[in-house]
Protein backbone atom coordinates (compact mmCIF):
# COMPACT_ATOMS: atom_id res chain seq x y z
CA UNK A 1 0.00 0.00 0.00
CA UNK A 2 1.25 3.52 -0.81
CA UNK A 3 1.87 5.57 2.36
CA UNK A 4 0.51 9.11 2.76
CA UNK A 5 4.10 10.41 2.59
CA UNK A 6 4.80 8.65 -0.71
CA UNK A 7 1.48 9.78 -2.11
CA UNK A 8 2.35 13.39 -1.19
CA UNK A 9 5.77 12.98 -2.86
CA UNK A 10 4.19 11.65 -6.04
CA UNK A 11 1.77 14.58 -6.05
CA UNK A 12 4.63 17.15 -5.87
CA UNK A 13 4.26 19.63 -8.75
CA UNK A 14 7.14 19.52 -11.24
CA UNK A 15 7.17 23.30 -11.72
CA UNK A 16 9.88 23.92 -9.08
CA UNK A 17 12.29 21.51 -10.75
CA UNK A 18 12.28 22.50 -14.38
CA UNK A 19 15.20 24.11 -16.22
CA UNK A 20 13.51 27.32 -17.48
CA UNK A 21 13.15 27.93 -21.23
CA UNK A 22 15.71 30.75 -21.27
CA UNK A 23 18.41 28.35 -20.03
CA UNK A 24 17.57 25.58 -22.50
CA UNK A 25 19.71 25.28 -25.64
CA UNK A 26 17.37 24.96 -28.63
CA UNK A 27 17.20 25.38 -32.40
CA UNK A 28 14.48 26.96 -34.53
CA UNK A 29 12.36 25.37 -37.23
CA UNK A 30 13.93 26.31 -40.52
CA UNK A 31 17.48 26.19 -39.11
CA UNK A 32 19.89 24.04 -41.09
CA UNK A 33 21.00 20.63 -39.88
CA UNK A 34 24.52 22.07 -39.88
CA UNK A 35 23.52 24.74 -37.35
CA UNK A 36 21.78 22.13 -35.17
CA UNK A 37 24.88 19.91 -35.27
CA UNK A 38 26.98 22.88 -34.16
CA UNK A 39 24.63 23.57 -31.23
CA UNK A 40 24.58 19.89 -30.22
CA UNK A 41 28.35 19.53 -30.46
CA UNK A 42 29.15 22.77 -28.65
CA UNK A 43 26.69 22.18 -25.79
CA UNK A 44 27.44 18.45 -25.52
CA UNK A 45 23.71 17.65 -25.24
CA UNK A 46 22.41 14.49 -26.87
CA UNK A 47 19.28 16.20 -28.21
CA UNK A 48 17.66 19.63 -28.02
CA UNK A 49 14.14 20.98 -28.63
CA UNK A 50 13.13 22.47 -31.98
CA UNK A 51 10.96 25.57 -31.38
CA UNK A 52 9.37 28.28 -33.48
CA UNK A 53 9.63 32.01 -32.84
CA UNK A 54 6.43 31.84 -30.71
CA UNK A 55 8.12 29.24 -28.48
CA UNK A 56 5.89 26.38 -29.62
CA UNK A 57 7.53 22.93 -29.66
CA UNK A 58 7.85 21.28 -33.07
CA UNK A 59 10.12 18.37 -32.19
CA UNK A 60 13.49 17.20 -30.91
CA UNK A 61 16.71 16.88 -32.87
CA UNK A 62 19.78 14.78 -32.07
CA UNK A 63 23.18 14.21 -33.69
CA UNK A 64 22.05 10.68 -34.55
CA UNK A 65 19.01 11.98 -36.46
CA UNK A 66 21.22 14.43 -38.36
CA UNK A 67 23.87 11.83 -39.20
CA UNK A 68 21.19 9.44 -40.44
CA UNK A 69 19.81 12.13 -42.74
CA UNK A 70 23.18 12.50 -44.52
CA UNK A 71 24.07 8.82 -44.59
CA UNK A 72 24.87 7.76 -48.16
CA UNK A 73 25.38 4.21 -49.33
CA UNK A 74 29.14 4.27 -48.82
CA UNK A 75 29.90 7.51 -47.04
CA UNK A 76 28.52 10.27 -44.87
CA UNK A 77 27.56 13.08 -47.25
CA UNK A 78 28.65 16.05 -45.13
CA UNK A 79 28.16 18.47 -48.03
CA UNK A 80 24.38 17.99 -47.62
CA UNK A 81 24.41 19.36 -44.05
CA UNK A 82 23.95 23.01 -45.02
CA UNK A 83 20.97 22.23 -47.28
CA UNK A 84 18.95 19.97 -44.96
CA UNK A 85 16.61 21.65 -42.50
CA UNK A 86 16.07 20.43 -38.93
CA UNK A 87 12.41 20.02 -39.94
CA UNK A 88 13.50 17.20 -42.29
CA UNK A 89 15.34 15.15 -39.69
CA UNK A 90 13.76 15.94 -36.28
CA UNK A 91 11.49 13.64 -34.26
CA UNK A 92 8.01 15.17 -34.23
CA UNK A 93 6.40 12.75 -31.84
CA UNK A 94 7.50 14.33 -28.56
CA UNK A 95 6.35 13.30 -25.09
CA UNK A 96 5.82 16.35 -22.94
CA UNK A 97 4.59 17.48 -19.53
CA UNK A 98 2.36 20.37 -18.56
CA UNK A 99 3.66 22.84 -16.01
CA UNK A 100 0.99 21.67 -13.50
CA UNK A 101 1.81 17.96 -13.88
CA UNK A 102 3.09 15.97 -10.90
CA UNK A 103 6.13 13.81 -10.18
CA UNK A 104 3.99 10.72 -10.68
CA UNK A 105 3.45 11.49 -14.37
CA UNK A 106 7.08 12.60 -14.80
CA UNK A 107 8.36 9.35 -13.24
CA UNK A 108 6.35 7.29 -15.73
CA UNK A 109 7.70 9.28 -18.69
CA UNK A 110 11.40 9.62 -17.74
CA UNK A 111 11.78 5.85 -17.88
CA UNK A 112 11.89 6.20 -21.66
CA UNK A 113 13.17 9.77 -22.05
CA UNK A 114 16.34 11.42 -20.68
CA UNK A 115 14.43 14.70 -20.47
CA UNK A 116 10.93 15.97 -21.10
CA UNK A 117 9.74 19.24 -22.59
CA UNK A 118 7.36 21.15 -20.34
CA UNK A 119 4.62 23.36 -21.75
CA UNK A 120 2.77 26.24 -20.11
CA UNK A 121 -1.02 26.51 -19.82
CA UNK A 122 -1.20 28.07 -23.29
CA UNK A 123 1.02 25.41 -24.88
CA UNK A 124 4.19 27.50 -25.07
CA UNK A 125 7.53 25.97 -24.17
CA UNK A 126 8.27 26.53 -20.45
CA UNK A 127 11.47 24.49 -20.13
CA UNK A 128 12.60 20.91 -19.59
CA UNK A 129 12.59 18.39 -16.77
CA UNK A 130 15.56 16.03 -16.85
CA UNK A 131 15.80 12.43 -15.66
CA UNK A 132 18.79 13.55 -13.57
CA UNK A 133 16.64 16.01 -11.57
CA UNK A 134 13.86 13.44 -11.07
CA UNK A 135 16.39 10.85 -9.83
CA UNK A 136 17.95 13.40 -7.45
CA UNK A 137 14.56 14.17 -5.90
CA UNK A 138 13.70 10.47 -5.71
CA UNK A 139 17.02 9.73 -3.98
CA UNK A 140 16.43 12.59 -1.52
CA UNK A 141 12.96 11.26 -0.72
CA UNK A 142 14.19 7.68 -0.24
CA UNK A 143 17.00 8.78 2.12
CA UNK A 144 14.58 10.99 4.10
CA UNK A 145 12.13 8.12 4.61
CA UNK A 146 14.97 5.86 5.81
CA UNK A 147 15.84 8.27 8.67
P1 LIG B 1 21.58 15.87 -18.07
O2 LIG B 1 20.54 15.46 -17.09
O3 LIG B 1 22.18 17.19 -17.74
O4 LIG B 1 22.56 14.78 -18.36
O5 LIG B 1 20.79 16.13 -19.43
C6 LIG B 1 20.17 15.08 -20.14
C7 LIG B 1 19.75 15.61 -21.49
O8 LIG B 1 18.79 16.65 -21.29
C9 LIG B 1 20.88 16.26 -22.29
O10 LIG B 1 21.63 15.37 -23.07
C11 LIG B 1 20.09 17.20 -23.18
O12 LIG B 1 19.53 16.48 -24.27
C13 LIG B 1 18.98 17.66 -22.26
N14 LIG B 1 19.37 18.90 -21.56
C15 LIG B 1 19.76 19.05 -20.27
N16 LIG B 1 20.00 20.35 -19.97
C17 LIG B 1 19.77 21.06 -21.13
C18 LIG B 1 19.84 22.45 -21.48
N19 LIG B 1 20.19 23.40 -20.61
N20 LIG B 1 19.53 22.78 -22.76
C21 LIG B 1 19.15 21.84 -23.67
N22 LIG B 1 19.04 20.52 -23.38
C23 LIG B 1 19.36 20.12 -22.13
pLDDT over 90 percentage in the chain: 91
pTM above 0.85, yes or no: yes
**How many angstroms separate the Cα of 42 from the Cα of each of 39, 83, 104?**
5, 20, 33
pLDDT in tens, 26-58: 999 999 999 999 999 999 999 999 999 999 999
User: Which atom of ligand 1 approaches the CA of 44 most closely?
Assistant: 10
Beta strands in the chain, from DSSP E residues, in sequence order: 19-20, 27-28, 47-51, 57-62, 96-98, 115-119, 125-130
Q: Is the CB of 123 under 6 A from ligand 1?
A: no
Ligand 1 pocket, mutate which of 114, 132, 137, 139 (most atoms under 8 A from CB): 114
The residue extents of the domains of the chain are 4-146
pLDDT averaged over the chain? 95
Superfamily of domain 4-146: CBS-domain (3.10.580.10)
Q: Is the CB of 39 under 6 A from ligand 1?
A: no
Amino acid sequence: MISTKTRAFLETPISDFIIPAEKVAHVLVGNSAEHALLVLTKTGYSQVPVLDTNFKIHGLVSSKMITESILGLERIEYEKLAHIKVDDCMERNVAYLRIDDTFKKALDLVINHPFLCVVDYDGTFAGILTRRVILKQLKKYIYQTLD
